[in-house]
Structures are given as C-alpha cells and as structure tokens.
Structure 1
Amino acid sequence: MTNTTATTAPAPTTSATAPEPRVLFAQQAPKAFKALLAFDAAAREGLDPVLVELVLIRASQLNGCAYCLHMHTSDARKAGESDERMHMVAVWHEAAHFFTPAEQAALALTEAITRISGSVPDEVYARAAAEFDEPTLARLIALICAINTWNRVALATGKVAGTDERR
C-alpha cells in the first residue's frame, strides 16, 4: 500500500507578499550607500570572485542575514561555484577537504573578524598571512569588514531575502 498523502514544502514567499523593508537605505542615506559601494568594490579588486563569494556567504551565515545569504549564493553560482561546496561552507571545519588551504584561511579569518571579541587570534592571522600576500590580505580584511557592514544594514533595515532590490 502506498501513502497517498503528498507532502510538499511551502511555496517561497514572493516579492508581492514579502514585507516591505523598514527604510530604503540607498535612497535615505545615498552618500553612505555610495561610500559603502565604493569600499566594497575596492576591497574586491584583484580577489578571486569565488573566494569573495565564499567569504560573503560565511559572514552572512554567521550574522543570520538571509537577504545577503540569498544574494551571495546566487552570485556564487554565477561565478561558477557548485551547490555542493556552498552547502559545506557552514561546516567547512568538518569538510575542509572541499576547500583549498587559501579558502580555509579566508574562511577562518572571516569567522574571526565577524565574531570579533578583542582581537583576531595570532594563529588565524598567521594562517591567512601564509596564504595571501600583504595587499591581498588587506583587501580580504576590507572585504570581510564590508560584508559585515552590509549584513548589519540589511538586518537593521529589514531587507527581505529573495526580493529583487539589491542592497
């Protein structure tokens, strides 16, 4: 005998039924928005696009920012990242073999900066410094700071995951 009761996942919320953001940050603080865009763009210069998205995904997971997580998993796919590796980002410590040593170092640094309490541990910084030259490391730090700011803006303003509006 087969079970005829179908179980389906709830339909995703569409932008037509999604709540409105609290404030449109880009419209209400245009100078701050443009400055943050410029900072973000400068941080990304010369960094591998897949590495960038892995960092942005991890910080957004840690910060609980569904809006940015949705955006950056989509962007990662466009950059050539596999769903399999994206599923492993949250547990990269246990699934390190999915990631290069440089990616592991970047993810560790992302966690240390995102969860900062005092300073970044010397061993985390040394691991990143062993994988990246100083200019790249500086841009990586800037990228991590930028995504943490974007996450906080999105969370504070009530951005809704899956809506078309970017930042």
Structure 2
Amino acid sequence: MTSAPRLRMKKLMPLAYQALSDWHIVVSRTGAEAGLEPLLVELVKVRASQLNRCAFCLDMHVHEARELGERQARLDVVAAWHECGELFSRRERAALELTEAMTRLPEAGVPDDLYNRVAQVFTHEQIAALVMAIAVINAWNRLGVASGAMPPHRP
C-alpha cells in the first residue's frame, strides 16, 4: 500500500467528516465529565484499532496513550490483555471486554453477563460514555481502513 490514502474523506465529504469530528469531541468531553479516565479511553481506542486493523488510528492512539503516561510494556500486550492477569485493572479489563464485544458485535450482541460485569465498575453515565467512545473509534477505524489512511512516519 502506498503512503497516500485512497480517499481524502475530509475533502470529499466535508460535512460528514465534520459531523464525525464534532461527535468525537462531544463524546470525549462528556466521557471526561462522566468520570472516564483519559488513559482508559485511549486503551479502548488502541484495542478497537487493533481489532479493526486500522494502522493510522492504532499509531495515533498508542502515541496519545504514551503522552498520557502509559507504559510501553502495557501497550505491548493490549492485544493479549486476557492473558495478562492483574496487569490491567478491573475497570480496564471490563472496558476492553466491552470494546471487543462491540467491535466484533456477535450475533447475540453484548451479552447480559458482560454488561453486568461492566456495570459493577462503571456508573450508567460512564457506561453510556464508554459505549459512545467505542462507537466513535469504530467509525474512525472504518473510515481509516476504507480510505487507506497510513500512519505518519514518527522518529
């Protein structure tokens, strides 16, 4: 794949692109107001981007997680968080599990037992904010993959 994207979505669909950008901003703001930790949200974005194979978003959110103080050792194993025991907190594990369920969206949807585990560590407002954050990153991932967006070269 070349370094130039197939489609420049911002130029070709400016109103739709701006609407998605605005949605992202609102979700980020309301998530913070609901008490979602910025680093937890970045881990969610990293995991969804891994599952969706969006190199552009994965690069961006790994970089942003590092800027928020995330350790490289944890970023290295986000894809295998299930096997990492207590390396990830109970809240992080619940958020990552919900991310996987919503990103893969099995025929059964998000199972009640998963929702109940999430509800044990997040308030209803936080769950709503988390669901919206997962939905937004999945939308960005799909645009990134379909348009062929590539990560910038970082030093």
TM-score, structure 1 as length reference: 0.84
Give the corresponding residue for 2:67.
78
Match of 2:140 among 139, 144, 150: 150
| Structure 2 counterpart of 1:89, from 70, 75, 78 | 78
| Aligned-partner SS, 2:76 | helix
**Unpaired stretches in structure 1, ≥5 consecutive residues:** 1-17
Which of the residues 91, 98, 123 maps onto 1:102?
Answer: 91
Alignment of 1:16-165 (within 5 A): 18-45=2-29, 46=32, 47-118=36-107, 119-162=109-152
With over 3 angstroms needed to count, the CA separation of the structure-2 counterparts of 1:146 and 1:112, relative to structure 1, is: same
Query: After TM superposition, where is structure 1 displaced by more than 6 Å over at least 4 residues in a row?
Result: none
Farther off after superposition, 34-43 or 46-55: 34-43
Q: Deviations over 1:9-47 (max 9, x none)?
A: xxxxxxxxx531111111111111111112112222212
Structure 2 letter corresponding to 1:84: A
Query: Over aligned residue pairs, what C-alpha RMSD do you find?
Result: 1.5
State the alpha-carbon separation in 2 of the partners of residues 36 and 71 from structure 1. Answer: 17
Identity %: 43
- CA-to-aligned-CA distance 1:80-137 (integer Å, 9 cap, x gap): 1110111121000000311110000000000000000231011111111111111111
Gaps of 5+ in 2: none
Q: Scaled by the length of structure 2, what TM-score is found?
A: 0.90
Deviation at 1:162, TM superposition (A): 2.4
Rg (Cα) greater in structure: 1
- Structure with the higher fraction of residues in helix conformation: 2
